[in-house]
Amino acid sequence: TQDGEPPRQRVTGTLVLAVFSAVLGSLQFGYNIGVINAPQKVIEQSYNETWLGRQGPEGPSSIPPGTLTTLWALSVAIFSVGGMISSFLIGVVSQWLGRKRAMLVNNILAVLGGTLMGLANAAASYEMLILGRFLIGAYSGLTSGLVPMYVGEIAPTHLRGALGTLNQLAIVIGILIAQVTGPGLMSAPTRPVPPAPAPGGPLPSRDSSSQVFLVERAGRRTLHLLGLAGMCGCAILMTVALLLLERVPAMSYVSIVAIFGFVAFFEIGPGPIPWFIVAELFSQGPRPAAMAVAGFSNWTCNFIIGMGFQYIAEAMGPYVFLLFAVLLLCFFTFTFLRVPETRGRTFDQISADFRRTPSLLEQEVKPSTELEYLGPDDEND
């Protein structure tokens, strides 16, 4: 009954160990997304002292607020710049060194970045912290592509979804560890969790742990569509709540529900699924290039949202989430029309799918493709 499908392979100790080691990189990635939020006040105070120290005893008594804001924004956003640049190199590096050695060598960036950040305070240098954030961003950019690629490649077809979810889970756990230990270790006032379209991507949410295996059951495409539709609904609910907030105070609760729903649906669909689909859509040859394009777009959008959200929110007021609702509707439509299901299917089966829905031009040129419509439908396995 499973025509054309590879034989089912067992989960071996080696496979578990390899996947576990690989997703540790994603844990580190997640940690560095989350870690910057909690100690904001501590870091700002340190920047203030550093700046004052450099002015000498006769200088001003406080860092100008504008300078502090710039330094802080730079410390946050430079992470995405590092990710943007390095994610573009995923293809080159993973071809040149191989996936495994690329992940190993990538750790040099993490060690360098961590060392710089760790010593920045003692050395009274914000340049070191910013450079460290840049390097750890570069590490994260490579990780964001290398880990799903490696895990997708070593996993047997029927386990790809389940094992791939571990990657997203590791990122979320990393963020969570950073959020939990951040305030404790630094004893700093916590900044509230940023709004859902926040820089740095996924936010911790409870339902992500129940995802393992859900991806295998429901299929990537269905989950992605569900996530996008849910996020779109939550964005509309958020807009309504913000518009009515003046007259109906209870709307503040509705907006909280909307934000949590937004994040939950993100974790179901657009958070993890695009990484699966990209890793599964392409065979080994073009996969690194595809992951690089995906990673670069992801990090660029992170950066744009991180830098631009403040300004867009000021310009659009309560309608800002309507913009996201419209975009999400576009993404939903595109996914519905163009994105194939990749669950439990080999690359040949998936690429055959693309050949079955030829563009208008191809239809005119090769009418013989029609024969392929008559092929067996392996959707209901």
Ligand X SMILES: *[C@@H]1O[C@H](CO)[C@@H](O)[C@H](O)[C@H]1NC(C)=O
Tell me the closest approach of the beta carbon of residue 32 to ligand X, in angstroms: 25
**Nearer to ligand X among residue 59 and residue 308 (C-beta):** 59
Q: Does 58 bind ligand X (CB under 6 A)?
A: no
Closest separation in Å from C-beta 57 to ligand X: 13
Q: For residues 301 and 298, give the distance between their C-alpha atoms in angstroms, rounded to a whole number.
A: 5
Distance CA 147, CA 208 (A): 18
Tell me the one-letter amino acid at 250: A
Q: Where are the alpha helices (DSSP H) in the chain?
A: 13-34, 40-55, 65-87, 90-96, 99-120, 126-154, 160-186, 214-218, 220-244, 251-268, 273-281, 287-316, 320-338, 347-356, 360-365
Stretch that binds ligand X, among 14-22, 61-69, 81-89, 275-283 (CB under 6 A): 61-69
Least Å from the CB of residue 49 to ligand X? 6
d(CA 120, CA 125): 5
Site residues for ligand X, 63-92, by CB under 6 A, read 63, 68
Question: Which part of the chain contacts ligand X (CB under 6 A), choosing from 59-67, 160-168, 211-219, 363-371?
Answer: 59-67
- Residue 62 found at the interface with ligand X (CB under 6 A): yes
Residues 6+ apart with CB under 8 A from 6: 156, 157, 346
Q: Report the interhelical angle of 220-244 vs 273-281 (nearest 10°).
A: 150
Q: Based on the shown chain and the rule CB under 6 A, indicate whether residue 55 belongs to the binding site for ligand X.
A: no
Write out the binding residues for ligand X, residues 295-314 only, by CB under 6 A.
Answer: none
Q: Where are the beta strands (DSSP E) in the chain?
A: none
Number of residues that make up the chain: 381
125 forms part of the interface with ligand X (CB under 6 A): no
Structure-block tokens of residue 304: 């744009």
Rule CB under 6 A: is residue 333 a binding residue for ligand X?
no
The answer to the question of residue 42 lying near ligand X (CB under 6 A) is: no
Show the tokens assigned to 162. Answer: 């389940």
Among 14, 61, 359, 368, which residue interacts with ligand X (rule: CB under 6 A)? 61
Size of the residue set binding ligand X (CB under 6 A): 5
Name residues contacting ligand X, limited to 159-188 (CB under 6 A).
none
Binding site for ligand X (CB under 6 A): 48, 61-63, 68
